[in-house]
């Protein structure tokens, strides 16, 4: 039996970063107009979903239960010489 993998394209991209200087996680989704922060990754995702629908409505962007959001985590680090 041959399996088929279909990657569904996300409707929205949310960029996630951790700021080690202040110890906070941030998320930004330009299309939805969502920009927020939290002290843990789990709280950040909860906060995102808490405000996403309202921000989408304010920005006249369609968002439904079937909408797909891809969370991309950006990690910054320095390679020691």
Q: Name the nearest CA neighbour of 51 among 66, 41, 37.
A: 37
Whether 6 is covered by a domain: the verdict is no
Whether 5 is covered by a domain: the verdict is no
pLDDT tens digits, the chain, 81 residues: what are they?
677 767 778 999 999 999 889 999 999 999 999 999 999 999 999 999 999 999 999 999 999 989 999 999 977 666 776
Whether 47 is covered by a domain: the verdict is yes
Identify the H or E element spanning 48.
helix 41-58
Is the pTM of the predicted complex or chain greater than 0.85? Answer: no
Overall domain count for the chain: 1
For residue 33, what are the domain limits? Answer: 12-74
Whether 1 is covered by a domain: the verdict is no
Q: Any idea which residue has 């995102």 for tokens?
A: 48
Whether 55 is covered by a domain: the verdict is yes
Domain CATH for 64: 3.30.2390.10
């Amino acid at each position: 039996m041959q399996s088929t993998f279909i990657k569904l394209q996300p409707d929205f991209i949310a960029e996630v970063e951790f700021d080690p200087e202040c110890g906070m996680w941030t998320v930004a989704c330009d299309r939805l107009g969502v920009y927020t922060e939290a002290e843990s990754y789990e709280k950040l995702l909860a906060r995102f979903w808490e405000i996403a629908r309202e921000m989408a409505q304010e920005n006249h962007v369609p968002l439904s239960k079937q909408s797909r959001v891809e969370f991309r985590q950006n990690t910054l680090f320095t390679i020691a010489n």
